[in-house]
């Protein structure tokens, strides 16, 4: 097949493009080489053998050129992280995706598949259970609670303690600008895909880990943030109390999931979780990073939190398993690979402090009130 990979100079996109090329497909990449992932003067990773088009998914003309003659599309290009330019999230992630379908429908392009990269973020706090009131999908934690350092999510009915449960694909509850834009993106892709007979699949990735996750971007991504800190000899900073839970998936497993749905019609019209399915605390993960570097230090709990962050989320991956997919790599393996990759660079920029300053300035990163100096 002739396959277009948007965001193909980025982390998941470049690995996907490589895997497609290795499977005998012809690959075209559309990527705007956007900062901070692609700073000026740093050569981007473009898989050899792929055709590269520099363009912006917000521009119809760039879609027209990129979609010409292709059979399938992987749409990875996106605006991410915790910044406050809300409009940009929707412009890139939602309008950009609408333009894909607009061009495909208007030009009657015979697309055989569109795979859109969505995110576990669409679940917000995900699924919880209260012993008395059963399953629920709570809203974002209030700022007042967070300012008091009350990290856990209380039952919305009785205020009592709840336990977090693996979250399947049936209910979404997006809570921040990124999550809202990703949910709008996948909804319009699945709906327009159905309406105009463009087979479409949405993949909701958990935290994907592996080489090429840009170290120029330090706004999100526990693996790169912790690795950057330890690489520069500093203790990794863990937000909240470090007991928050996530699941992690290795880039090779994530790429296999993407390739699997390419020729599986039974996947069409659906969203799938692509995760590790195993809950890890962020504190344990920080220790994994420290161990991978062979460093002698402890993670640092500063009493800061990122407003809009989820407390616990772990994906239920049974739907994708039923298609024959299974994650095979552990977070320890992913971290080891990232560290090995990082060490191939003679100079790794220390961008953490700058990113943290910007998040503090915009009140994304906040301190519990009783320790506040802000
Ligand atoms: N990495 C993860 O853990 C993760 C988790 C959940 C979802 N996702 C989703 O997967 C996709 C890929 O993520 P990634 O980690 O590879 O990101 P990345 O930042 O490494 O790559 C994204 C690429 O898209 C390009 N891009 C951004 N805006 C663009 C625009 N307007 N026009 C054209 N190109 C543009 C960038 O230049 C970059 O090369 C995204 O849609 C993201 O939302 C990623």
295-346 tens-digit pLDDT: 999 999 999 998 888 999 999 999 999 999 999 999 999 999 999 999 999 8
Of 12, 35, 67, 254, the one to substitute when testing ligand 1's pocket (max ligand atoms within 8 A of C-beta) is 12
pLDDT above 70 for 374: no
Alpha helices, H only, the chain: 11-22, 60-67, 86-90, 96-106, 143-147, 177-195, 222-231, 251-262, 282-293, 318-321, 331-342, 352-361
Q: Is the CB of 10 under 6 A from ligand 1?
A: yes
Kindly give the number of the ligand 1 atom that is closest to the alpha carbon of 80.
Answer: 43
Q: Is the CB of 272 under 6 A from ligand 1?
A: no
Distance 93 CA to ligand 1 centre (A): 10
pLDDT at 370: 53
Distance 194 CA to ligand 1 centre (A): 24
Q: Which residues lie closer than 8 Å to 109 by C-beta, 6 or more apart?
A: 67, 70, 103
Q: Is the CB of 38 under 6 A from ligand 1?
A: yes
pLDDT at 372: 47
The position carrying tokens 């607009």 is 102
pLDDT digits (tens, 9 = 90+) for 120-131: 999 999 999 999
Does residue 143 or residue 363 have the better pLDDT? 143
pLDDT above 70 for 371: no
pLDDT at 84: 85
What number of CA atoms fall less than 13 Å from residue 335's CA on the CB side?
A: 24
User: CATH classification of 2-371, choosing from 3.40.50.720, 3.30.300.100, 3.30.420.40, 3.90.1150.10?
Assistant: 3.40.50.720
Reported confidence tier of residue 362, pLDDT bands at 50, 70, 90? confident
pLDDT at 308: 83
Distance 11 CA to ligand 1 centre (A): 7
- The alpha carbon dihedral of 364, 368, 371, 374 has a sign of positive
Reported confidence tier of residue 16, pLDDT bands at 50, 70, 90? very high
Q: Is the CB of 45 under 6 A from ligand 1?
A: no
Rounded CA gap, 99 and 107, in Å? 12
Q: Is the CB of 34 under 6 A from ligand 1?
A: yes
Q: Is the CB of 208 under 6 A from ligand 1?
A: yes
Of all protein residues, whose CA lies closest to atom 21 belonging to ligand 1? 10
Alpha helices, H only, 132-247: 143-147, 177-195, 222-231
pLDDT at 193: 98
Does residue 42 or residue 129 have the better pLDDT? 129
Strand partners, 31: 54
Q: Is the CB of 230 under 6 A from ligand 1?
A: no
Q: Which residues lie closer than 8 Å to 220 by C-beta, 6 or more apart?
A: 80, 81, 82
Of all protein residues, whose CA lies closest to atom 38 belonging to ligand 1? 10
Distance 122 CA to ligand 1 centre (A): 16
Kindly give the number of the ligand 1 atom that is closest to the alpha carbon of 77.
Answer: 24
Q: Mean pLDDT across the stretch 110-136?
A: 97
Q: Which residues of 272-290 are buried (b: 16+ CB within 10 A; e: fewer)?
A: bbbbbbbbbbbbebbbbbb
Q: Mean pLDDT over all residues of the chain?
A: 94
pLDDT digits (tens, 9 = 90+) for 49-88: 999 999 999 999 999 999 999 999 999 999 998 778 999 9
pLDDT at 365: 87
Q: Is the CB of 77 under 6 A from ligand 1?
A: yes
Q: Is the CB of 359 under 6 A from ligand 1?
A: no
Rounded CA gap, 244 and 257, in Å? 26
Q: Which residues lie closer than 8 Å to 322 by C-beta, 6 or more apart?
A: none
pLDDT at 350: 84
Distance 80 CA to ligand 1 centre (A): 7
pLDDT digits (tens, 9 = 90+) for 208-264: 999 999 888 767 788 989 999 999 999 999 999 999 999 999 999 999 999 999 999
Distance 333 CA to ligand 1 centre (A): 22
């Amino acid at each position: 097949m002739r396959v277009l990979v948007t965001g193909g100079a980025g982390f998941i996109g470049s690995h996907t493009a490589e895997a497609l090329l290795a499977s005998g497909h012809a690959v075209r990449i559309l990527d705007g080489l956007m900062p901070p992932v692609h700073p000026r003067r740093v050569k981007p990773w473009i898989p050899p053998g792929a055709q590269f088009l520099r363009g912006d998914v917000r521009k119809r003309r760039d879609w027209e050129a990129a979609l010409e003659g292709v059979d399938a599309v992987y749409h990875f290009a996106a605006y991410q992280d915790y910044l406050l330019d809300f409009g940009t999230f929707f412009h890139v992630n939602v309008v950009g995706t609408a333009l894909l379908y607009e061009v495909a429908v208007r030009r009657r392009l015979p697309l055989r598949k569109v795979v859109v990269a969505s995110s576990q973020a669409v679940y917000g706090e995900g699924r919880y259970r209260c012993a008395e009131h059963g399953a629920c999908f709570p809203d974002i934690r209030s700022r007042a609670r967070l300012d008091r350092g009350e990290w856990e999510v209380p039952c919305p009915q009785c205020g009592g303690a709840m336990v977090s449960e693996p979250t399947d694909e049936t209910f979404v509850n997006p809570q921040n600008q990124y999550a809202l834009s990703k949910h709008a993106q996948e909804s319009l892709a699945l709906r327009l895909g159905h309406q105009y007979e463009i087979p479409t699949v949405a993949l909701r990735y958990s935290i994907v880990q592996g080489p090429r996750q840009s170290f120029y971007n330090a706004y999100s991504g526990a693996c790169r943030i912790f690795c950057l800190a330890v690489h520069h000899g500093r203790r990794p900073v863990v937000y909240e109390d470090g007991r928050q839970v996530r699941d992690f998936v290795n880039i090779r497993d994530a790429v296999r999931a993407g390739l699997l749905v390419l020729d599986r019609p039974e996947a069409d019209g659906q969203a799938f979780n692509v995760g590790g399915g195993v809950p890890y605390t962020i504190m344990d993960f920080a220790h994994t990073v420290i161990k991978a570097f062979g460093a002698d230090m402890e993670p640092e709990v500063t009493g800061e939190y990122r407003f809009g962050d989820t407390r616990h989320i772990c994906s239920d991956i049974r739907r994708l398993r039923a298609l024959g997919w299974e994650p095979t790599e552990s977070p320890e393996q992913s971290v080891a690979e990232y560290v090995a990759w990082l060490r191939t660079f003679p100079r790794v920029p220390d961008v953490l402090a700058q990113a943290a300053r910007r998040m503090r300035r915009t009140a994304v990163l906040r301190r519990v009130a009783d320790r506040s100096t802000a």
